[in-house]
Chain A
Amino acid sequence: SQQGEEDPQALSIQEGENATMNCSYKTSINNLQWYRQNSGRGLVHLILIRSNEREKHSGRLRVTLDTSKKSSSLLITASRAADTASYFCAPSGAGSYQLTFGKGTKLSVIP
């Protein structure tokens, strides 16, 4: 399995603003997943984008994938205080069920 690296490590925005976080990885993937972790809780699966997809939406979430640059971005529109959490990306290669997590992006949304 391979690890994604999230950037920035920390992000602070005002409620209502958009939040963008990025993920880079090193080898080819089958899919890439984004997870959210609220303080002291387990991770929650947000969205999965396959290697043949370029963009995917889910509610206020928009994920893009650029396999040529080996990067992905997660955009949260019209952020809310409840979006305050750490966000992790997890690239998944062929034949591997295993996900490896980086340090994540810690998002703080200020009311």
Chain B
Amino acid sequence: EAGVAQSPRYKIIEKRQSVAFWCNPISGHATLYWYQQILGQGPKLLIQFQNNGVVDDSQLPKDRFSAERLKGVDSTLKIQPAKLEDSAVYLCASSVGSEGYTFGSGTRLTVV
């Protein structure tokens, strides 16, 4: 079974620029999550999709972050404009129900 694919692996941008991350979940996994992990902390949920609908985006900074999951498969997370404090690893995960998430390897974003 293929894992959760994320790209790019690394990204360096200047503050106020925009950036987008892509995630392809495991086939058949209806639920998809984006997490932000700042160095030294645990992952923090940004948004949860069920198929192509948003279940929870309460912790997504909507003034600068947006996410979509067209056709209930792939998802993109965008930041525009980026701030220094957005430097983090962005993790995508997918699941069937709540019993075991599969995570991608993440995208490490550095904002300078």
Q: Verify A43–B98 contact, CB threshold 8 A.
A: no
Q: Does A40 contact B (CB under 8 A)?
A: yes
Shortest CB distance B55–A (Å): 8
Q: A93 to chain B: closest CB distance in Å?
A: 9
A98:B105 contact, CB within 8 angstroms: no
A43 touches B48 (CB 8 A): no
Does B61 touch A at the CB level, under 8 Å?
Answer: no
Q: Is B45 an interface residue (CB 8 A)?
A: yes
Q: Which of A13-21, A55-63, A76-84, A101-109 contacts B (4 or more CB under 8 A)?
A: A101-109
Q: Among A35, A40, A97, A104, point to the contact of B98 (Cβ < 8 A).
A: A97
* A101 & B43 in contact (Cβ 8 Å cutoff): yes
In the bound complex, how far is the Cα of B95 from the Cα of A88, in angstroms? Answer: 17
Interface contact A98-B48, CB-CB below 8 Å: yes
The interface residues of chain A, by DSSP majority, are classed as loop
Output the nearest chain B residue to A100 by Cβ-Cβ distance. Answer: B45
Size of the A side of the interface (Cβ < 8 Å), in residues, is 23
Docked complex Cα distance between A33 and B102 (Å): 12
Digit string of A64-102 for contact with B (CB within 8 Å is 1, else 0)? 000000000000000000000000100010001111111
A4: nearest chain-B partner, CB-CB = B42
Q: Using Cβ atoms and an 8 Å threshold, which residues of chain B touch A31?
A: 98-99
A30-B98, A31-B98, A42-B91 known; A98 vs B103 contact (CB < 8 Å):
no
Contact of A45 with B by CB under 8 A? yes
Would B56 and A43 count as touching, CB distance under 8 A? no
A residues within 8 A CB of B31? Answer: 97
B90 CB, nearest partner CB in chain A, Å: 10
Residue ID in chain B nearest A94 by CB atoms: B98
A residues adjacent to B (C-beta < 8 A): 1, 30-31, 33, 35, 40-45, 48, 88, 92, 96-104
Q: Which 5 residue pairs of A and B lie closest in terms of their CB atoms, listed nearest first?
A: A42-B103, A101-B42, A97-B98, A45-B100, A43-B103
